């Protein structure tokens, strides 16, 4: 039985993983520390919830909610859209293992020598596919809720030195668009 790594290591390595993947996604250099911190906070919360009786879906949702809120708040400071902070921060929580196990089970179904083995692999395929779907859904729901709640802050994060009412364009608010 593998030992748990502890919340501090989960915090540090979750942040490192997110910063690394953020670099692959070409996030701005000044936004990398924000990505790391946001991911570390969300991942540590998820770790704490899962190891205190919660399941992975609800833990992932709560972690993603925290990531979404922090991303919206930090997007102004990082001068980047909230997605560029929250998406890399979510990557350590993407259920890659479940997705891989689903594919592995599909291959196992094809190679099954008996009905029992086929049914076992089919169970694994269905279980892992469902878990992948539900975990990713909960992650996306978690980061989308703060975007809906704080729409103005989210979509004006990259707006520079704007003062309300100073725009010269008279049809700026055409059709009631508020951003």
Partner 1 sequence: MAGVDNAERAGRFLALYSSGLLSSGATTLRTERNMLRMADSFGIDVQLTILPMHCEVSVRKDKGNGRLLFSEQYSRGINFNAITAMSRMSWKVADGRLTVEQAERLLSFVKAQSRYPDWIVAFAAGVANASFCRLFCGDLWAMAFVFLCTVMGFWLKRCLIHRSVDVRIAVILAGMVSAITASGCYIFSLGATPDVAVAASVLYLVPGIPFINAFSNFMHGHYVCAAAIFMHAIETTACLGIGLFCGVMILNNL
Binding residues vs partner 1 (CB under 8 A): 2-5, 9-10, 13-14, 16-28, 31, 43, 79-81, 83-84, 87-88, 90-92, 94, 96-97, 99-100, 103-104, 107, 136-137, 139-141, 143-144, 155-156, 158-160, 162, 166-169, 171-175, 177, 179
Alpha helices in the chain (DSSP H): 7-24, 32-50, 56-78, 82-90, 96-111, 115-149, 151-155
* C-alpha to C-alpha distance for 68 and 55, rounded to whole angstroms: 20
Burial (CB < 10 A; 0-12, 13-18, 19+), residue 106, is middle
Cα pseudo-dihedral 92, 98, 104, 108, rounded to 10: 170
**Please, which residue, 29 or 53, has the CB nearer to partner 1?**
29
Considering the complex, what minimum distance in angstroms separates the CB of residue 16 from partner 1? Answer: 4
Residue closer to partner 1 by CB (options 126, 137) is: 137
Residue 148 CB, nearest distance to partner 1 (Å)? 9
Nearest-approach distance from CB 132 to partner 1, in angstroms: 8
Minimum Å distance from CB 143 to partner 1? 8
Cβ proximity to partner 1: between 29 and 115 the closer is 29
Phi, psi of 38 (to 5 degrees): -65, -45
- Kindly state the greatest CA–CA separation across the chain: 74
- Return the number of the residue (2 or 115) whose C-beta is nearest partner 1: 2
Distance between CA atoms of residues 60 and 47, nearest Å:
9
Nearer to partner 1, 58 or 159 (CB): 159
Smallest distance, partner 1 to C-beta of residue 159, A:
4
Cα 71 from Cα 147, distance rounded (Å): 9
């Amino acid at each position: 039985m593998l030992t748990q790594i502890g919340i501090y290591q989960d915090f540090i390595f979750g942040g490192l993983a997110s910063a690394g993947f953020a670099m692959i996604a070409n996030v701005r250099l000044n936004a990398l520390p924000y990505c790391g911190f946001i991911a570390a906070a969300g991942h540590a919360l998820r770790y704490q919830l899962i190891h205190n009786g919660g399941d992975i879906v609800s833990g992932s949702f709560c972690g993603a909610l925290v990531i979404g809120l922090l991303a919206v708040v930090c997007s102004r400071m990082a001068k980047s859209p909230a997605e560029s902070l929250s998406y890399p921060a979510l990557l350590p929580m993407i259920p890659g293992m479940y997705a891989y196990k689903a594919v592995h089970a599909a291959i196992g179904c094809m190679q099954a020598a008996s009905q029992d083995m086929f049914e076992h692999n089919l169970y694994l395929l269905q279980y892992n596919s469902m878990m992948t779907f539900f975990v990713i859904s909960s992650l996306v729901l978690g980061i989308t809720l703060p975007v809906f709640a704080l729409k103005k802050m989210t979509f004006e994060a990259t707006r520079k030195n704007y003062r309300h009412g100073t725009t010269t364009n008279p049809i700026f608010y055409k059709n009631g668009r508020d951003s």
